[in-house]
């Protein structure tokens, strides 16, 4: 009877260990996927910011011929500094 309980205890411990390992692996997969999604969204936002700055720069240069704003260059420099940091 004692041998049966020992065998059952070992099987339960192994099942718990395997289940915990599966949960842990799934957790890290989810975090990795979330990180990839966030990186893609940040890249898209950076591209959008450059496009909007370019459009604003062109519009302001059309409206104010004497003013030569370099918003596109400024945004690119700021984004480069943030990605290098």
Closest among 54, 44, 59 to 76, alpha carbons compared: 54
Domain count, the chain: 1
**Token pair belonging to 4:** 């049966």
pTM score: 0.58
CA–CA separation, 85 and 39 (whole Å): 15
C-beta atoms surrounding 24 within 10 Å: 10
3 state SS of 49: helix
Spans in the chain with pLDDT lower than 70: 1, 66-72, 82-85
Domain interval for residue 73? 2-84
For residue range 49-67, list pLDDT tens digits in order: 888 888 887 787 777 776 6
Residues in Cβ contact with 60 at an 8 Å cutoff, skipping those fewer than 6 apart: 67, 69, 71
Helix ranges (DSSP H) in the chain: 2-63, 71-84
């Amino acid at each position: 009877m004692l041998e049966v309980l020992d065998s059952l205890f070992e099987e339960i411990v192994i099942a718990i260990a395997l289940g915990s390992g599966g949960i842990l692996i799934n957790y890290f997969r989810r975090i990795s996927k979330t990180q990839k999604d966030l990186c893609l969204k940040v890249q898209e936002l950076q591209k959008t910011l450059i496009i909007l700055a370019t459009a604003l720069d062109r519009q302001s240069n059309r409206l104010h011929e004497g003013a030569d704003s370099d918003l596109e260059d400024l945004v690119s420099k700021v984004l480069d500094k943030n990605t290098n940091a």
